[in-house]
């Protein structure tokens, strides 16, 4: 590389929302911005999480200097416990972000071996060829930061996830002045959040939700109030606590992640909780409806979350009664609509009042906010990030509408290597990038073949045909027996199974009778015969596994 060049390599976060991780590289050094996980897509059966493939970083490990984390959401920090095990470099993050990361490191027993550096807005960290400055932004979690990364090619501003909130609940508005200063000093490229790029206008202030929540409390003085929201939205939780105090209600926190983040945020000073307002859920029975404000997980309809269990009468400590006021302070994340609807229906069926309108605002910038950032920073290049293809391409259109050259806008895919210099930007290479699936403790040991099997098993079940044959001979010593799972009710389909057994036995006898004693060949015949029989009979294709045991 020439001296005035830098490479930008997104290893995730560009083909779908989630799993954000981007490398910045010179000949000497590599730094990484964010290290997130994502949730499995619907075809990844049984998978718990998805983390980025960091083969490229491992390969260049001796040059990797540090992680810079923009904020504490799972899609920006969730893969750290996995990745740190292979690539143990220091982490830089703001206080709350680091607090949440530390919770994860403790669980993964990585606290002792990981260098953690808490930074403040305005801090500049110098590491090799890079200088990284943390800039205050607003988002749906406190302590979010944009990064101004000084590289040999110039300054690259990475917005992280952001919105412009002039009246945030905690702390100050986004540091627009600093963006403007950087613009005056000269910005090479902006990598900007695309999540809401198709929405016109401006995202509402978090404060608007606080006002709405206050109004709901005022309008429901006699009802028990239960509010589901995102555990990590500490400001939202603060607004709910404020309303509870104003209307003389006790606050109960329910749901594992809610309790955990509540504790961290309170300990680090991001949540002001009045004395004597908190009540343990065990004591809920000691208070009347009008005294209770319960803050819970489950806003996404997750089957095992507290609110879902309350709605389906499966929660041990809280039952829903007519007149209960349930607030969803959230929008369904795409893909969760049906699950959320199910919970809402369950709550309606118990004659609770369900409120989900105007009770949430996004944490991401809409079009006018995005335009504001470009107008302040005046970058030469735009690299839309944090979005699906459609968001990135619409983001590119927005940049064009601001007068940017088409050749200066880069819509990348994960793995693309973009080389930037003050004069020129070009995709010069493609490196390994992709999704690594985590299932239980297994990382990457479930791949496409296993998933294809799971898909097939889930749709049609399995039929196991097992038999013991004489080694080198042609006698059937036991079987063939058929065992099925996920195929039919055996009790109701006894005849079918019996017939199948007969079909298999006949095929097996034909094979052995005609002198075939190649077990592989016999298995194929059995699989084909049985498969054909079942399709003809019932139009289904279970997975068929013939197993032959040999005995002398």
Q: Which stretch binds its own copies (CB under 8 A): 61-69, 288-296, 316-324, 465-473?
A: 465-473
Q: Is residue 467 near its own copies by the rule CB under 8 A? A: yes
Q: Is residue 128 near its own copies by the rule CB under 8 A? A: no
Of the candidate residues 319, 455, 502, 524, the single one contacting its own copies (CB under 8 A): 455
Is 364 assigned a catalytic role?
yes
Of the candidate residues 156, 344, 376, 508, the single one contacting its own copies (CB under 8 A): 344
CA–CA separation, 552 and 546 (whole Å): 20
Residue 408 preceded by cis peptide, ω within 30: no
CA–CA separation, 137 and 457 (whole Å): 47
| C-alpha distances out from residue 238 to 218, 256, 327, Å | 17, 18, 15
349 or 368, CB closer to its own copies? 349
Of the candidate residues 458, 473, 498, 506, the single one contacting its own copies (CB under 8 A): 458
Is 219 assigned a catalytic role?
no
Of the candidate residues 285, 403, 489, 495, the single one contacting its own copies (CB under 8 A): 489
Compute the Cα dihedral for 246, 252, 256, 262 and give only its sign. Answer: positive
Tokens coding 189: 């490229």
State the residue for tokens 């199974």.
497
The footprint of its own copies on residues 297-336 (CB under 8 A) is 334-335
Q: Which stretch binds its own copies (CB under 8 A): 63-71, 272-280, 463-471, 515-523?
A: 463-471
Size of the site for its own copies (CB under 8 A): 66
53 or 129, CB closer to its own copies? 53
Q: Which of 101, 179, 103, 105 is nearest to 138 (CA)?
A: 179
Q: Is residue 428 near its own copies by the rule CB under 8 A? A: no
Considering the candidates 143, 193, 346, 416, report the single residue annotated as catalytic: 193
Residues in the chain: 552
Q: Is residue 388 near its own copies by the rule CB under 8 A? A: yes
Q: Annotation-wise, does 364 bind a ligand?
A: yes
Q: Is residue 441 near its own copies by the rule CB under 8 A? A: yes
Q: Which stretch binds its own copies (CB under 8 A): 152-160, 464-472, 507-515, 522-530?
A: 464-472
Q: Is residue 46 near its own copies by the rule CB under 8 A? A: yes
Q: Is residue 512 near its own copies by the rule CB under 8 A? A: no
Can you spell out the DSSP letters for 469-537? EETTS--EEEEEEEEEESS--TGGGHHHHHHHHHHHHHHHHHHHHTT---HHHHHHHHHHHHHHHHHHH
Q: Is residue 497 near its own copies by the rule CB under 8 A? A: no
Spatial contact of 31 and 127, defined as CB atoms under 8 Å apart = yes
Q: Annotation-wise, does 46 bind a ligand?
A: yes
Spatial contact of 217 and 243, defined as CB atoms under 8 Å apart = yes
Half-sphere exposure of 254 (CA within 13 A, CB side): 28
Q: Is residue 389 near its own copies by the rule CB under 8 A? A: yes
CA–CA separation, 512 and 503 (whole Å): 14
Nearest distance in Å: CB 265, its own copies: 29
Say whether 186 sits in a helix, a strand or coil. coil
Q: Annotation-wise, does 408 bind a ligand?
A: no
Q: List the binding residues.
A: 46, 48, 71, 73, 75-76, 139, 161, 231-233, 360-364, 386, 439
Catalytic (active-site) positions: 193, 364
């Amino acid at each position: 590389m020439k001296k005035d060049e830098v490479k930008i390599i997104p290893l995730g976060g560009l083909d779908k929302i989630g799993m954000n991780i981007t490398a910045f590289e010179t000949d000497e050094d590599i730094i990484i911005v964010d290290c997130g996980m994502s949730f499995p897509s619907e075809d990844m059966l049984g998978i718990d999480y998805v983390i980025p493939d960091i083969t490229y970083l491992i390969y260049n490990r001796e040059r990797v200097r540090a992680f810079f984390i923009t904020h504490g959401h799972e899609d920006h920090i969730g893969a750290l416990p996995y990745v740190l095990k292979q690539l143990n470099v220091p982490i830089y993050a703001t206080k709350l972000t680091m607090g949440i990361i530390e919770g994860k490191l403790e669980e993964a027993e990585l606290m002792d071996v990981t260098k953690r550096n808490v930074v403040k807005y305005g801090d500049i960290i110098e590491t090799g060829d890079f200088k990284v400055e943390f800039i205050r932004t607003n988002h749906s979690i406190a302590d979010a930061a944009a990064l101004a990364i000084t590289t040999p090619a110039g300054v690259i501003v990475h917005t992280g996830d952001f919105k412009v909130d002039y009246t945030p609940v905690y702390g100050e508005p986004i540091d627009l002045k600093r963006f403007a200063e950087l613009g005056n000093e000269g910005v090479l490229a902006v990598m900007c959040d695309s999540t809401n790029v198709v929405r016109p206008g401006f995202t509402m202030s978090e404060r608007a939700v606080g006002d709405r929540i206050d109004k709901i409390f005022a309008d429901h003085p006699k009802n028990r109030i239960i509010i589901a929201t995102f555990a990590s939205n500490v400001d939202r939780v603060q607004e709910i606590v404020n309303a509870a105090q104003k209307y003389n209600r006790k606050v109960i926190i329910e749901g594992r992640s809610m309790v955990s983040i509540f504790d961290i945020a309170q300990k680090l000073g991001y949540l002001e909780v009045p004395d004597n307002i908190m009540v343990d859920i065990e004591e809920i029975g000691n208070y009347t409806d009008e005294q209770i404000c319960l803050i819970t997980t489950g806003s996404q309809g997750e089957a095992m979350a507290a609110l879902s269990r309350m709605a389906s009468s499966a929660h041990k400590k809280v039952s829903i009664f007519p007149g209960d006021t349930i607030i969803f302070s959230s929008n369904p994340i795409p893909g969760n609509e049906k699950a959320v609807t199910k919970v809402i229906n369950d709550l309606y069926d118990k004659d609770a009042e369900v409120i989900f309108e105007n009770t949430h605002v996004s944490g991401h910038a809409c079009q006018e906010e995005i335009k504001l950032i470009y107008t302040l920073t005046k970058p030469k290049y735009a690299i839309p990030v944090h979005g699906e293809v459609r968001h990135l391409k619409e983001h590119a259109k927005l940049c064009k509408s601001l007068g940017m050259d088409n050749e200066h806008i880069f819509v990348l895919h994960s793995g693309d290597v973009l080389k930037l210099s003050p004069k020129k930007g070009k995709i010069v290479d493609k490196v390994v990038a992709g999704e690594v699936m985590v299932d239980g403790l297994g990382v990457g040991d479930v791949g496409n073949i296993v998933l294809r099997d799971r898909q097939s098993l889930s749709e049609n079940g399995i039929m196991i045909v097992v038999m013991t044959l004489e080694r080198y001979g042609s006698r059937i010593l036991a079987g063939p027996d058929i065992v099925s799972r996920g195929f039919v009710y055996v009790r109701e389909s006894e005849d079918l199974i019996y017939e199948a057994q007969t079909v298999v036995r006949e095929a097996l006898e034909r094979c052995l009778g005609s002198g075939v004693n190649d077990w592989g060949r016999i298995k194929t015949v059995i699989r084909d015969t049985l498969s054909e029989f079942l399709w003809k009979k019932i139009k289904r294709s279970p997975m068929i596994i013939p197993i032959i045991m040999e005995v002398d």
